[in-house]
C-alpha cells in the first residue's frame, strides 16, 4: 500500500441557498490516478477547489502528507505540491507559451530572465511526459489541446506532485483526449498523483486506479477502477438505473423528408468548408453524422437551418428548395433545430424560461392573437413543457441563465421537439449535459423518430451516434467520407472514416 | 440587464440629496432652507408645477427614445438631432397648412415630425445592422448635421424674416392647449404619457415588442428562432427616432409656437442621462425624468430666495448619476458572484 497523500474528511461547503458539498470525503494515494465523478452540480469541482484553497470550507479537515489543516490558501496548496488545471484555462493569450509557463516564477540570471534555463526545464517535461508544446508561439495561436498541455507544464513547473484536472477532456477531440491519457499515464509512472474530474464514464474507466462517485454534494462510493463497470457507475451517479447505449429502435420508414444535394458552404476554417456534401433522410429514421469536431459539421447544420450562406447545391425540405432562405421560412417548411451552442443560439439567457420556450410559437395562435401576446396562454404552454420535459427548477419565470447546463438544454429540446416538425436537426444535443439529462434527451430523439420525424443527429460522441442512428454518415474535412448502416458500423470502421481513411480504401 | 427596484432608486435619491446638503453647508448656506425653497420652486403654485411639467415632457420623451433604441442594443446619442428635425418638421406643418380642424392639424404635425425623425433614426440603425458601423460615432456626427440643417432651413426657406432666426408662427389649429396657466405646460403632457404607456405595452405585450427585446438581448438567438435581427434593429431605431421627433414637435406646438434656431439646451442629453440612470427600464423612465425636471425647475427658486447657485443642482445630479452607476456596479458584482457560486452548485 502506498503512502496516503491527501485525506479530506467531513468537508462542508455552502453557497447561498445551496449545500454544495456535505460531509465530503476524499483520499489520494501516492502514484495513483483517482477519478472524481458525478453529474453537474454534484460538488466535484467545489470539493477540489477546497483542496486547492480557493474555497474555505465551513467544516471538515484536510490532511496533506500527514499534516492536518482546517483550510488551505492557494499559496499553501502550491507550497504543498498541489497543482490544479482548471476547466477554463488561465493563460494570457497575448503572451508566448514560454512566458505563460514561467510567469511569476521566472528563473533569473543577474537581473534578467534566464530563457535557456526555462527552455531546458520545459523540454525536460516535454520529453519525460510527452507534453509537446511550442514554447515560442503565442497562446492565442495554439490549439485547445496544446493549451491544456501548457497548463499542465505550468503546474509541474511550480513543483506540483499532485495534479487536479477539472474536466480536462470536455474541450478535447477524441484524439486529443487519447493523447492526454498517455500523458497522464506517463506522469503516474513518473510518480505523480492525479485527481481526474469528469462525468464521462468510458474515460474514467480507461485510466483510473480508483473512482470516487459524488451525488448531490455527498460522497457516495469509492471503488477500484478494475472492479467496476459503466452501468454501475452510472447508477451510483444518478441514484437509479440508467439506460444509455443500447441500439437503435426500429420504426417504420417513410418518404425522404430532407435531402442535401452537393452543397458547398464557406467555413470558419479551411478544413471546415463544405465541399460537396450530399445525403438524404427519410421520415422515421435517424441519420447520425459522426466526425471529429471542426470537419464541417457546424457549417452543415447552419447551412441547413439558413444561418449560413450556401454557395452551390440544393437543400430540399418538404419538397421545396430552401437553401439560403431566411431561417423563419425554413422553419415554416418543417425544420426544427437544436443548435450546438445553446448559450448563444439556443437560448436568450437574459430572458425567462417561458419566453425561451415560446420563442418559435409566440407569434401564432393560441399564444397570441392579432399580434398581442396572451401571457396567460404562454405561461400555460411553458408550464406544460416544463412538466413533460422535467425541467428543473420548475419555474416559468426563472431567467434562463440560472439553469444548469442539462436543464438549459432541455429547454431547447422541449421547444424544438414539441413543434413536431417533419425534420429535426440535432447538433451535439448532449454536449456538456449531465447523465440524467442525456437520457431524457436521447429518449426524446427516439420518440420524435417513432412519431415519424426525420432526424439528423450531428454528434462527436461516437457512442451516442452508434446507439441512436439507423444510418451513419462520417464527415472529414468538409466531405462525407462514407455512409454505413448501423448494423455494420463499429467504432473501428467509423474511426477510419473519421480520419479520412475511407476515401482511399 | 439588471432590473431596477423602486427601493434602491429612492435610496439613491435620498443619498444624493444628503450629499448635496453637505455641499450647501460647505458653501455657507442653510441646506434645509435651500431644499425648502427648491421644493417650493418646484411644487408650490400653478406656475411652478407647470414649469416642472414643461421640462418633464421633453425629458421623458427623449429618455424614452433612448431607452427604446437601447432595447435593440443601439446606443443612440442622436436623439438631440431627432428632436431638432421633429421640431422643424412640426413647425413647417404647423404654419404651411391652413384652415384645418385642430383634430386633423395636430395629428398631422405629429405625423410629419415623427416620419422625418424616424427616417433620420433609420440611417444609423441601417449602418449598424448591415455594415456594423459604430452607432455612437454616427449619431454624434449626425446631430451636427441635423442641427445645422435646421439652422439653414430656419435662416432661409422656412424663415419668418424676423429679427431672430425662427419660422413663422404656427396656426392656432396646430397649437397644443395650455394647462396650468400662466406656465407653458400643455396637453403634450398627456400625449407623452400616452406614448409612454403605449410603448411599454408594445414592448411587453405584442409580438413586435417581443422581437425587439430579443434582438437587443441576443441577436444570434433571434436569428435562429426566425426573427430577422437586422430589420428589427432598424425598426427599433425608427421608433426611437419617431419618439425623439415627437418630443421636438411638442416643444414647438405647445411651448414656443414656432421653431427657434438652437432652441434646445441639450434636452435629449438630459433625457439620455435619465434613461441611463433608469437602466433603460421603461417603467423607471418617467420617475427619473420627473426627478430631474423637479431639480432643474426648483433650482431657479432656490437661487432666487437663498442665493445658493443653481449650478449646485447640476452637482447633485452628477452625484446622483455616480451613485446610480455604483448601484449598477454592486448589482453587477452581486450577479457575478451569484453566478459563479451558482455554477458550482449547478
Q: What ipTM did this prediction achieve?
A: 0.83
Is the pLDDT reported for residue A173 higher than 80?
no
Cis peptide before A366 (omega within 30 of 0): yes
Q: Is the CB of residue A290 less than 8 Å from the CB of residue A351?
A: no
Question: A368 in contact with B at a CB cutoff of 8 Å?
Answer: yes
- The C-alpha of A351 sits at a distance from chain B's nearest C-alpha, in angstroms, of 8
* Three-state secondary structure readout of A137-190: CEHHHCCHHHHHHHHHHHHHHCCCCEEEEECHHHHCCHHHHHHHHHHHHHHHHC
Between A349, A360, A402, which is nearest B342 by CB? Answer: A402
Q: Which residue of chain A has the CA closest to B346?
A: A41
User: At A217, phi and psi to the nearest 5?
Assistant: 85, -5
What 3-state DSSP class applies to A241? coil
Instruction: Report CB contact under 8 Å: B227, A328.
Output: yes
DSSP E strands: which ranges in A451-501? 454-458, 471-476, 479-485
The answer to whether A352 touches A398, Cβ cutoff 8 Å, is yes
How far out from the chain centre does Cα A249 lie? 25
Report how far residue A334's alpha carbon sits from residue A325's, in angstroms, rounded to the nearest whole number.
13
- Kindly report the nearest CA distance between residue A311 and chain B, in angstroms: 20
Q: Answer for the pair B229, B222: CB distance below 8 angstroms, yes or no.
A: yes
Q: Minimal CA–CA distance to A36: which of A172, A194, A171, A170? A: A194
| Distance between A218 CA and the closest CA of chain B, angstroms | 12
* Domain boundaries, given as residue ranges, for chain A: 4-238, 246-334+423-505, 343-420
For an interface test with A, the pick among B70, B227, B345 (most A C-beta atoms closer than 10 Å) comes out as B345
Nearest neighbour of B345 by CB, restricted to A20, A326, A347: A20
Cβ–Cβ of A327/B225 closer than 8 Å? yes
What confidence score (pLDDT) does residue A476 get? 87
For A69, phi then psi, to 5°, come to -125, 145
Helix (H) or strand (E) holding B171: none
Residues 277-316 of A with CB under 8 A from B: 305, 307
Q: Is the per-residue pLDDT at B155 higher than 80?
A: yes
Using left for φ > 0, alpha for ψ between -120 and 50, and beta otherwise, residue B308 falls in: beta
Closest-CA residue of B relative to A331 is: B226
Average pLDDT over residues A60-85: 90
A488-492 long-range Cβ contacts below 8 angstroms, 24+ apart? A490/A466, A491/A462, A491/A466
Contact B245, B76 (CB under 8 A): no
More confident residue, B3 or A306: A306
Least confident of A104-108, A288-292, B254-258, B324-328: B324-328
> Does A345 sit within 8 Å of B220, measured CB to CB?
yes
Closest CB to A359: pick one of B205, B225, B345.
B225
Percent of chain B with pLDDT over 90: 72
CA distance B116 to B110: 10
CB contact under 8 A, B205 and A15: no
Closest Cα partner for A156 from A108, A101, A92, A197? A101
Percentage of chain A exceeding pLDDT 70? 96
By Cβ distance, the residue of A43, A337, A373 closest to B210 is A373
pLDDT of residue B340: 46
Q: pLDDT by residue (tens digit) across B83-108? A: 999 999 999 999 999 999 999 999 99
pLDDT of A501 higher than 70 = no
Q: How confident is the model at residue A42 (pLDDT cuts 50, 70, 90)?
A: confident
Say whether pLDDT at A421 is over 60. Answer: yes
Q: Write down the pLDDT at residue A505.
A: 39
- Partner residue opposite A307 with nearest CB, options B206, B223, B228: B223
Please name every residue paired with A239 in a beta bridge, in sequence order, or none if there are none. Answer: none
A210, β-bridge pairs = A34, A224
What residues in chain B have their Cβ under 8 A from chain A's Cβ atoms? 1, 205-208, 210, 213-214, 217-218, 220-228, 338-339, 341-342, 344-346
- Determine which of A330-334, A476-480, B53-57, B151-155 has the lowest per-residue pLDDT on average: A476-480
CB spacing of A350 vs B346 below 8 angstroms: no
Between B217, B220, B346, which is nearest A351 by CB?
B217
pLDDT confidence band for B338 (50 / 70 / 90): very low
Spell out the residues 6+ positions from residue B275 whose beta carbon is closer than 8 angstroms to its own.
B63, B64, B66, B67, B70, B285, B288
Q: Residues B154, B158, B161, B165: what is their CA dihedral angle, to the nearest 10 degrees?
A: -10
Average pLDDT, chain B: 90
Q: Do B345 and A18 touch (CB under 8 A)?
A: yes
pLDDT of B1 over the 60 cut: no
A–B: how many Cβ contacts below 8 A? 88
Residue A504 in this model has a pLDDT that exceeds 50: no
A452 vs A253, more confident = A452
What are the φ/ψ torsions at residue A372 (nearest 5 degrees)? -100, 130
List chain B residues with CB under 8 Å of A349. Answer: 218
CA distance B185 to B177: 9
Indicate if the pLDDT at residue A324 is higher than 60. Answer: yes
Subunit contact A337:B224, Cβ cutoff 8 A: yes
B220 chain-A contacts, CB cut-off 8 A: 344-345
Say yes or no for a CB contact (<8 Å) between B226 and A347.
no
- Contact (CB<8Å) A372/B224: no
Who wins on pLDDT, B344 or B119?
A: B119
In this predicted structure, what is the pLDDT of residue B114? 98
Mutate: best of A15, A307, A418, partner B, most B CBs <10 A: A15
> What gap in Å lies between CA B120 and CA B125, rounded to an integer?
9
Q: In sequence order, which residues have a C-beta less than 8 Å from that of residue A461 and are 6 or more positions away?
A: A428, A430, A431
C-alpha pair distances (Å), A190 with each of A30, A130, B346:
11, 12, 35
- Interface probe for B, chosen from A301, A306, A329, A359 (most Cβ of B below 10 Å), is A359
Alpha carbons A210 and A1: distance in angstroms, whole number: 13
* Domain A4-238 bears CATH identifier 3.20.20.140: no
Q: Average of pLDDT values for B124-144?
A: 96
A365 touches chain B (CB under 8 A): no
A86 at the B interface (CB within 8 A)? Answer: no
Q: In the prediction, which pLDDT does A469 show?
A: 94
User: Which runs of consecutive H residues, i.e. helices, occur in A6-96?
Assistant: 44-51, 74-79
Contact of A249 with A285, CB cutoff 8 Å: no
- Asked if A339's CB is within 8 angstroms of B345's CB, the reply is no
HSE-up of A503 (CA within 13 Å, CB side)? Answer: 11
For A161-189, b/e burial (b = at least 16 CB within 10 A) is bbbbbbbbbebbbbebbebbbebbbebbe
Predicted pLDDT of residue B336: 52
The crossing angle, in degrees rounded to 10, of helices A115-129 and A144-157 is 110
Out of A20, A362, A375, the one facing B344 most closely (by C-beta) is: A20
Higher pLDDT, B83 or A1: B83
Q: B19-54 as b/e, with b when 16 or more CB fall inside 10 Å?
A: bbbebbeeeebebeebbebbbebbeeeeebbbbbbb
Nearest CA in chain B to A392: B346
Position with higher pLDDT, A346 vs A200: A346
Selecting from B207, B208, B225 the residue whose C-beta is nearest the C-beta of A360 gives: B225
Residue found by looking up cell 512566458 in the block: A99
Question: Mean per-residue pLDDT for B276-293?
Answer: 91
Same fold for the domain at A4-238 and the one at A246-334+423-505? Answer: yes
Q: CA torsion angle for A360, A366, A372, A375 (degrees, to 10)?
A: -80
Residue A170 has pLDDT above 80, yes or no: no
- The answer to whether B228 contacts A326, with C-beta atoms less than 8 Å apart, is yes
Q: Which of B53, B46, B52, B45 is nearest to B176 (CA)?
A: B53
Provide CB contacts within 8 A for A372, sequence distance 6+: B205, B206, B207
Contacts of A348 in chain B (CB under 8 A): 214, 217-218, 221-222
The CATH number corresponding to A246-334+423-505 among 2.40.50.140, 3.40.50.300, 1.20.1510.10, 3.40.50.150 equals 3.40.50.300
Residues B310-334: tens digit of each pLDDT: 888 888 888 888 887 776 656 555 5
Q: Tell me whether A345 touches chain B (CB under 8 Å).
A: yes
Angle, helix B285-306 to helix B188-205, in steps of 10 degrees:
150
The C-alpha torsion from A32 through A38 and A42 to A45, rounded to 10°, is 40
CB-CB under 8 Å, B227 with A331: no
List the single residue in B207, B221, B345 with the smallest CB-CB distance to A347.
Answer: B221
In chain B, which residue ranges form alpha helices assigned H by DSSP? 6-26, 31-43, 46-71, 79-96, 102-131, 135-155, 188-205, 207-217, 219-225, 229-250, 267-277, 285-306, 311-345
Q: What is the mean pLDDT of chain A?
A: 88
The predicted model gives B187-192 an average pLDDT of 96
A362 CB neighbours in chain B (<8 A) are 207, 210
Our CA-based measurement puts residue A397 at a distance from the nearest CA of chain B, in whole angstroms, of 14
Using alpha carbons, select from A219, A220, A221, A196 the residue that is nearest to residue A207.
Answer: A196
Interface of A with B in 38-77 (CB under 8 A): 40-41, 43, 45-46, 49
Give the three cell numbers for residue A166.
477539472
Amino acid at each position: 500500500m502506498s503512502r496516503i497523500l491527501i485525506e479530506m474528511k467531513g468537508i462542508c461547503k455552502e453557497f447561498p441557498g445551496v449545500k454544495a458539498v456535505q460531509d465530503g470525503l476524499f483520499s489520494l494515494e501516492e502514484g495513483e490516478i483517482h477519478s472524481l465523478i458525478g453529474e453537474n452540480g454534484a460538488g466535484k469541482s467545489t470539493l477540489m477547489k477546497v483542496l486547492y484553497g480557493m474555497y474555505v470550507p465551513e467544516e471538515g479537515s484536510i490532511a496533506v502528507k500527514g499534516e492536518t489543516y482546517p483550510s488551505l490558501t492557494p499559496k499553501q496548496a502550491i507550497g504543498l505540491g498541489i497543482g490544479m488545471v482548471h476547466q477554463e484555462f488561465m493563460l494570457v493569450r497575448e503572451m508566448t507559451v514560454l512566458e505563460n509557463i514561467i510567469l511569476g516564477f521566472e528563473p533569473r540570471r543577474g537581473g534578467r530572465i534566464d530563457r535557456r534555463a526555462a527552455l531546458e526545464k520545459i523540454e525536460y517535461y516535454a520529453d519525460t511526459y510527452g507534453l509537446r508544446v511550442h514554447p515560442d508561439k503565442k497562446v492565442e495561436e495554439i490549439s485547445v489541446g496544446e493549451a491544456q498541455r501548457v497548463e499542465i507544464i505550468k503546474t509541474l513547473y511550480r513543483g506540483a506532485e499532485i495534479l487536479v484536472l477539472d474536466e480536462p477532456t470536455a474541450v478535447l477531440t477524441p484524439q486529443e483526449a487519447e493523447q492526454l491519457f498517455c500523458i497522464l499515464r506517463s506522469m503516474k509512472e513518473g510518480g505523480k498523483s492525479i485527481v481526474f474530474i469528469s462525468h464521462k464514464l468510458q474515460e474514467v474507466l480507461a485510466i483510473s486506479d480508483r473512482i470516487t462517485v459524488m451525488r448531490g454534494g455527498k460522497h457516495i462510493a469509492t471503488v477500484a477502477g478494475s472492479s467496476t463497470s459503466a452501468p454501475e457507475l452510472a447508477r451510483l451517479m444518478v441514484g437509479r438505473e440508467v439506460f444509455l447505449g443500447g441500439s437503435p429502435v426500429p420504426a417504420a420508414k417513410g418518404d425522404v423528408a430532407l435531402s442535401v444535394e452537393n452543397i458547398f458552404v464557406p467555413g470558419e476554417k479551411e478544413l471546415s468548408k463544405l465541399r460537396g456534401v450530399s445525403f438524404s433522410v427519410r421520415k422515421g429514421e435517424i441519420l447520425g453524422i459522426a466526425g471529429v469536431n471542426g470537419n464541417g459539421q457546424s457549417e452543415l447544420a447552419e447551412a441547413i437551418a439558413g444561418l449560413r450562406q450556401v454557395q452551390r447545391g440544393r437543400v430540399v425540405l418538404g419538397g421545396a428548395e430552401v437553401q439560403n432562405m431566411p431561417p423563419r421560412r425554413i422553419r415554416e417548411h418543417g425544420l426544427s433545430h437544436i443548435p450546438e451552442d445553446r448559450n448563444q443560439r439556443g437560448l436568450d439567457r437574459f430572458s425567462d424560461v417561458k419566453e425561451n420556450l415560446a420563442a418559435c410559437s409566440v407569434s401564432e395562435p393560441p399564444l397570441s392573437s392579432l399580434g398581442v401576446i396572451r401571457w396567460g396562454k404562454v405561461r400555460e404552454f411553458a408550464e406544460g413543457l416544463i412538466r413533460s420535459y422535467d425541467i428543473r427548477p420548475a419555474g416559468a419565470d426563472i431567467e434562463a441563465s440560472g439553469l444548469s447546463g442539462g436543464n438549459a438544454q432541455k429547454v431547447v429540446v422541449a421547444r424544438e421537439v414539441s413543434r413536431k416538425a417533419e425534420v429535426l436537426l440535432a447538433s451535439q444535443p448532449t454536449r456538456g449535459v449531465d447523465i440524467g439529462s442525456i437520457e431524457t434527451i436521447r429518449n426524446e430523439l427516439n420518440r420524435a423518430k417513432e412519431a415519424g420525424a426525420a432526424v439528423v443527429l450531428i454528434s462527436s460522441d461516437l457512442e451516442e451516434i452508434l446507439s441512436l442512428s439507423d444510418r451513419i454518415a462520417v464527415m472529414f474535412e468538409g466531405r462525407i467520407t462514407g455512409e454505413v448502416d448501423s448494423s455494420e458500423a463499429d467504432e473501428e470502421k467509423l474511426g477510419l472514416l473519421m480520419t479520412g481513411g475511407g476515401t482511399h480504401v | 440587464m439588471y432590473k431596477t427596484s423602486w427601493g434602491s432608486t429612492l435610496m439613491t435619491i435620498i443619498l444624493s440629496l444628503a450629499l448635496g446638503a453637505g455641499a450647501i453647508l460647505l458653501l455657507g448656506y442653510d441646506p434645509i432652507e435651500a431644499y425648502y425653497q427648491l421644493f417650493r420652486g418646484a411644487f408650490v403654485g400653478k406656475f411652478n408645477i407647470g414649469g416642472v411639467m414643461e421640462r418633464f415632457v421633453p425629458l421623458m420623451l427623449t429618455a424614452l427614445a433612448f431607452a427604446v433604441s437601447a432595447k435593440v442594443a443601439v446606443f443612440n446619442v442622436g436623439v438631440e438631432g431627432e428632436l431638432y428635425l421633429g421640431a422643424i418638421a412640426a413647425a413647417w406643418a404647423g404654419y404651411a397648412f391652413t384652415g384645418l380642424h385642430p383634430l386633423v392639424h395636430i395629428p398631422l404635425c405629429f405625423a410629419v415630425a415623427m416620419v422625418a425623425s424616424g427616417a433620420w433614426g433609420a440611417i444609423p440603425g441601417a449602418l449598424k445592422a448591415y455594415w456594423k458601423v459604430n452607432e455612437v460615432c454616427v449619431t454624434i456626427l449626425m446631430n451636427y448635421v441635423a442641427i445645422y440643417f435646421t439652422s439653414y432651413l430656419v435662416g432661409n426657406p422656412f424663415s419668418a424674416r424676423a429679427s431672430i432666426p425662427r419660422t413663422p408662427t404656427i396656426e392656432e389649429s396646430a397649437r397644443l392647449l395650455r394647462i396650468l396657466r400662466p406656465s407653458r405646460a400643455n396637453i403634450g403632457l398627456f400625449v407623452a404619457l400616452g406614448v409612454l404607456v403605449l410603448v411599454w405595452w408594445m414592448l411587453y405585450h405584442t409580438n413586435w415588442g417581443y422581437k425587439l427585446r430579443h434582438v437587443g438581448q441576443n441577436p444570434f438567438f433571434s436569428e435562429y428562432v426566425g426573427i430577422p435581427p437586422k430589420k428589427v434593429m432598424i425598426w427599433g431605431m425608427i421608433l426611437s427616432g419617431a419618439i425623439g421627433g415627437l418630443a421636438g414637435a411638442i416643444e414647438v406646438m405647445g411651448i414656443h409656437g414656432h421653431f427657434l434656431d438652437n432652441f434646445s439646451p441639450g434636452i435629449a442629453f438630459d433625457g439620455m442621462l435619465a434613461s441611463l440612470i433608469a437602466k433603460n427600464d421603461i417603467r423607471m423612465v418617467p420617475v427619473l425624468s420627473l426627478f430631474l425636471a423637479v431639480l432643474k425647475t426648483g433650482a431657479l427658486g432656490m437661487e432666487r430666495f437663498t442665493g445658493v447657485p443653481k449650478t449646485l443642482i447640476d452637482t447633485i445630479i452628477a452625484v446622483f448619476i455616480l451613485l446610480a452607476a455604483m448601484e449598477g456596479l454592486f448589482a453587477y458584482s452581486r450577479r457575478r458572484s451569484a453566478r459563479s457560486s451558482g455554477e458550482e452548485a449547478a
